[in-house]
Amino acid sequence: MHFNIDELKKKIIYRSSYRGSKEMDDLLSSFVQSILNELNDDDLINLSNLLNIDDENLYKYNQNLKTNIIISKNYVSRLFKKYKYKKK
């Protein structure tokens, strides 16, 4: 697969910051900033896919609650499930 990594990172940053609710903007943008530069190409694709999931299911997944969908288990989703947002 051929794609521009810098372009994908920009899309990921944008998608994580403009979700529709301030709480999810904060949670996801903080999470993305904490891991973005340490991910390989496959992980970046998994992160992009994770960000395509609706806010309700992402929040439930992060809080270890039952989701309405099946979320793929991979390195990025495991990191997100463990991630705890701390206000700065």
pLDDT of residue 1 exceeding 60, the answer is no
Distance in angstroms (rounded) separating the CA atoms of residues 78 and 1? 24
Give the angle subtended at the CA of 14 by the CAs of 88 and 1, to the nearest 5°: 125
- What was the pLDDT predicted at 88? 64
Q: Higher confidence at residue 39 or residue 3? A: 39
Concatenated DSSP letters of the chain: ----HHHHHHHHHHHHH-SSSHHHHHHHHHHHHHHGGG--HHHHHHHHHHHTS-HHHHHHHHTTPPPSSPPP-SHHHHHHHH------
Distance in angstroms (rounded) separating the CA atoms of residues 16 and 80? 12
- What was the pLDDT predicted at 25? 94
Mean of the per-residue pLDDT values of the chain = 94
Read off the pLDDT of residues 50-67 as tens digits, 9 standing for 90 and up. 999 999 999 999 999 999
Q: Which domains does the chain have, with CATH numbers?
A: 5-82 (1.10.150.250)
Amino acid letter, 67: T
- Band the pLDDT of 86: cuts 50, 70, 90: confident
